Structure 1
Amino acid sequence: MTRGALKDEDRVLWSLVAKTATPLKGKVAVAVPEPVPSAPEPPVAATRPVPGTAAPTPKAKAPRVSHNLDEPTLEKLSRGRLPIEGRVDLHGLTQQEAYSLLFSFLYRAHAGGARYVLVITGKGSSSGGDGVLRRSVPAWLSTPAFRHLVSSHDHASRQHGGSGALYVRLRRTRP
């Protein structure tokens, strides 16, 4: 990686931090441009829906998704017998930022051969309601855009974030 080149998730995180910073006395604030994804799009990117819109119907028959992990796998993950090969934290992001970050993270993890990853959504607002990302992320993982990446997902165990996190099993890469 060259100096100054940021990954998509780093760029999103940096823009969030830069928006909260105040300039020093006598200095002018620098405008922070909105992050523009620069990662190569996967072949199915044309069918990727925007959060809040209806997903287009796939023309080819997509693989069937089992949303829940099987009990033995869930137990091994919760006890640390299966490694979690990556994690992404979506706290404080908007739905659009979280969707883009999640998709790019899962795409890279899948391409890198990772099998199990942890997605941290947070538990939501303190006013007693479910968080937006806590409700949205499982729905996104079931859409056609994620179907070629995700095999199954389930709520994480308490030590990995409980209901504020998800274990995600990625599909095996085909040679």
Structure 2
Amino acid sequence: MGDKDKEDESELFLAAIGPVRKLPEKPLPPATPRPRPRARMAEVDEANAREAFRLGLDDAALEAEDALAWRSDALPVGVYKRLRRGEIAAQEELDLHGADARTAETLVRAFLADAQRHGVGCVRIIHGKGRSSPGSDVGSRGAPVLKNLVDRMLRQRASVLGFHSAPRAQGGTGAVLVLIAPFNRR
């Protein structure tokens, strides 16, 4: 077979298969996965709230026997009265005894977020009265640190509809019942 016959066969083969493209010499590396989306504005709001919270140590601190109480406009008065009387049962409980302020803040944030995510409507947070541990639970002015911390945190959380100190049988002024808004999936 001659060179002319090989050229004819090559041309005939190329005509039969059609146009071709050259393959890359090395395979392309896999694309890096895109980062998960973040709620940046929510992170900024949270950081601003933390800063305002730390600066908001006002002179009107609660004392050991003072009741914690707050209601958002979204919570009907009748439901709030039931909460205040202890007629709404807590589904979950967080005990902050022995925690320092920084740990308590982290625990409360995680607890409330988890409760809302799982559809828990009412929780109890036991903060204590601040009388038994003067070194860690009572501030320089004699005010209970954890009690005041919980009060300020709950007032700043959008997920909290209202709260009130628990009835005497459920911890009295050393615990607080909190109503949580349902989780809103957008």
- Among residues 122, 138, 146, which one is paired with 1:133 in the alignment? 146
AA aligned to 1:73 is L
- Among residues 66, 74, 81, which one is paired with 2:84 in the alignment? 74
Structure having the higher Rg: 2
2:154 maps to 1:154: no
* TM-score, normalization by structure 1: 0.59
Aligned CA RMSD, in angstroms, stands at 2.8
What's the offset of the Cα at 1:159? 1.1
Instruction: Report the counterpart of residue 54 of structure 2 in structure 1.
Output: 52
CA gap of 1:137–1:174, structure 2 versus 1, over 3 A, is same
What's the offset of the Cα at 1:45? 3.4
1:123·1:130 contact (CA, 8 Å) conserved in 2?
Answer: no
* TM-score, normalization by structure 2: 0.55
The answer to which structure has the higher helix fraction is 2
AA aligned to 2:45 is T
**Identity over aligned residues, as a percent?**
25
Deviation digits for residues 19-53 of structure 1, max 9, x if unmatched? xxxxxxxxxxxxxxxxxxxxxx9772332215523
Distance 2:44 2:170 in 1: 34
- Among residues 106, 112, 118, which one is paired with 2:124 in the alignment? 118
Contiguous gaps of at least 5 residues in structure 2:
1-37, 57-70
Contiguous gaps of at least 5 residues in structure 1:
1-40, 55-63
Distance 1:155 1:42 in 2: 33
AA aligned to 2:154 is L
Instruction: Report the counterpart of residue 180 of structure 2 in structure 1.
Output: 170
